[in-house]
């Protein structure tokens, strides 16, 4: 049915080797080259990539395993990875794990069966802990999350510094009771909590950290609890909250709106990820902007460099975020006297 290199060779009256050389790069006389190209066009021949990969032992494929492509951070990263990959003539296999270690294990197995050239991976804490023992025979670059173990190259945000910057900004704007809201599954949240905690202490403030499952609902419920106390003047309610990711941030905004309260009048907000909508909500939300495209591109670079030099020591690329200040953290005194 489908036309193979042999059919092309026959039609052009040459050997398969010659056809292969025309398609790839080898010495072929102009006359034969023309005949072959004509035969290729006439037959509509397309090389079979499975056969090519099998024979050449190069899959030209890189794996990308993230928790959920619907998370805009990973969407942007994946786009950067795919652009870089296709530019280098490689394909990408994208997998969503939903933070489920079983699925992570299954996809790691898949990566081995695909004989991927390399893998870019945002693992859960659980998988990260036993990644050393997975026996992967291709280079891995971790993104977004990474452990202290220097076994793998990685690209991460400077989470400590970013969280500290948000706390510092809120402090400078006059806020003192600054709560922190964090997801309870990723190492990212752990690091951001670290930065939050250190900065609070450094400013002589009392940390007040809450950990919730990484869903908007959970954040909304948590914050709804605080806000219910608003009628009670005696209650000590946070004046501001630092939120460790955009999904939780969305939940917090929902809770505030549902209670008919105002930002930042009743609660100041600062979060992570400069998604398009953060500019449009209320007075605009102050966020840390991650260099998402750079993170994907840097991961690909690390991967390519490691492929060239497998034995160089591993590196951790730490990129810093930018604090985008908007109305959600307006100075306290401008609206409370």
List contacts with a copy of itself (CB under 8 A): 1-2, 44, 46-51, 53-54, 59, 68-70, 72, 75-76, 78-79, 82-83, 86, 91-96, 109-110, 112-115, 135, 137, 216, 250, 253-254, 257, 275-277, 279-282
Q: What is the 3-state secondary structure (H, E, C) of 296-335?
A: HHHHHHHHHHHHHCCCCCCCEEEECCEEECCHHHCCHHHC
Q: Calculate the CA 318 to chain-centre distance.
A: 14
In the bound state with DNA, the residue whose beta carbon lies nearer, of 28 and 128, is 28
Counting contacts by CB under 7 A, is residue 4 touching DNA? yes
Q: Which of the listed partners (a copy of itself, DNA, none) does 21 bind, with a CB threshold of 5 to 8 Å by partner kind?
A: DNA
Q: Which of the listed partners (a copy of itself, DNA, none) does 75 bind, with a CB threshold of 5 to 8 Å by partner kind?
A: a copy of itself
Task: Give the one residue of 10, 15, 96, 184 binding DNA; rule: CB under 7 A.
Answer: 15
Per-residue tokens: 83 = 């652009």
Report the alpha-carbon distance of residue 119 to residue 108 in Å, rounded.
9
Least Å from the CB of residue 58 to DNA: 8
In the bound state with DNA, the residue whose beta carbon lies nearer, of 47 and 72, is 47
Q: Which of the listed partners (a copy of itself, DNA, none) does 18 bind, with a CB threshold of 5 to 8 Å by partner kind?
A: DNA
* Dihedral sign from CA coordinates of 163, 168, 174, 179: positive
Residue range at the interface with DNA (CB under 7 A); choices 21-29, 255-263, 300-308, 323-331: 21-29
Residues that bind DNA (rule: CB under 7 A) add up to a total of 31
Per-residue tokens: 111 = 């990566």
Q: Which of the listed partners (a copy of itself, DNA, none) does 28 bind, with a CB threshold of 5 to 8 Å by partner kind?
A: DNA
β partners of residue 157? 319
Residue position matching structure tokens 């954040």: 219
- Dihedral over alpha carbons 5, 7, 10, 13 (to 10 degrees): -60
Q: Which of the listed partners (a copy of itself, DNA, none) does 31 bind, with a CB threshold of 5 to 8 Å by partner kind?
A: DNA
Q: Which of the listed partners (a copy of itself, DNA, none) does 72 bind, with a CB threshold of 5 to 8 Å by partner kind?
A: a copy of itself
Across the chain, which distance is largest between two alpha carbons, in Å? 93
Q: Which of residues 23-82 bind DNA (CB under 7 A)?
A: 23-24, 26-29, 31-33, 45-48, 51-52, 54-57
Least Å from the CB of residue 336 to a copy of itself: 24
Report the alpha-carbon distance of residue 205 to residue 131 in Å, rounded.
38
Report the alpha-carbon distance of residue 80 to residue 88 in Å, rounded.
13
Residue range at the interface with DNA (CB under 7 A); choices 12-20, 231-239, 282-290, 328-336: 12-20
Beta strands 286-289 and 322-324 are antiparallel
Q: What is the 3-state secondary structure (H, E, C) of 90-111?
A: CEEEEEECCCCHHHHHHHHHHH
In the bound state with a copy of itself, the residue whose beta carbon lies nearer, of 199 and 241, is 241
Counting contacts by CB under 7 A, is residue 93 touching DNA? no
* Dihedral sign from CA coordinates of 11, 13, 14, 16: positive
Binding site for DNA (CB under 7 A): 2, 4-6, 13-18, 20-21, 23-24, 26-29, 31-33, 45-48, 51-52, 54-57
């Amino acid at each position: 049915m489908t036309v193979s290199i042999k059919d092309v060779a026959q039609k052009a009256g040459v050997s398969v080797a010659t056809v292969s050389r025309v398609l790839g790069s080898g010495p072929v006389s102009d006359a034969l080259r023309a005949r072959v190209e004509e035969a290729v066009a006439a037959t509509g021949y397309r090389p079979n990539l499975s056969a090519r990969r099998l024979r050449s032992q190069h899959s030209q494929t890189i794996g990308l395993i993230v928790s959920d492509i619907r998370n805009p951070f990973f969407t942007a990263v994946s786009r950067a990875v795919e652009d870089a990959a296709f530019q280098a003539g490689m394909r990408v296999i994208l997998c969503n794990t939903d933070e489920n270690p079983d699925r992570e294990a299954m996809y790691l197995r898949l990566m081995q069966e695909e004989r991927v050239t390399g893998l870019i991976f945002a693992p859960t804490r659980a998988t990260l802990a036993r990644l050393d023992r997975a026996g992967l025979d291709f280079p891995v670059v971790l993104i977004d999350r990474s452990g202290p173990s220097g076994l793998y190259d990685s690209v991460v945000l400077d989470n400590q510094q970013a969280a500290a910057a948000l706390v510092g900004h809120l402090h400078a704007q006059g806020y003192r009771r600054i709560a922190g809201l964090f997801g309870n599954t990723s190492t990212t949240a752990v690091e951001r909590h670290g930065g939050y905690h250190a900065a609070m202490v450094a400013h002589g403030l009392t940390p007040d950290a809450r950990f919730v499952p990484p869903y908007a609902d959970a954040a909304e419920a948590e914050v709804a609890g605080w806000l219910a106390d608003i009628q009670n003047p005696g209650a000590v309610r946070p004046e501001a909250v630092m939120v460790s990711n955009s999904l939780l941030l969305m939940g917090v905004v929902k809770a505030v709106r549902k209670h008919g309260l105002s930002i930042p009048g009743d609660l100041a907000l600062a979060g992570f990820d400069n998604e398009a909508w953060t500019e449009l909500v209320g007075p605009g939300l102050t966020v840390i902007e991650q260099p998402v495209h750079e993170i994907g591109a840097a991961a690909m670079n690390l991967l390519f460099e490691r492929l060239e030099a497998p034995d160089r020591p591993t590196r951790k690329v730490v990129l810093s975020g930018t604090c985008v200040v908007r109305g959600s953290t307006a100075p306290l005194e401008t609206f409370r006297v």
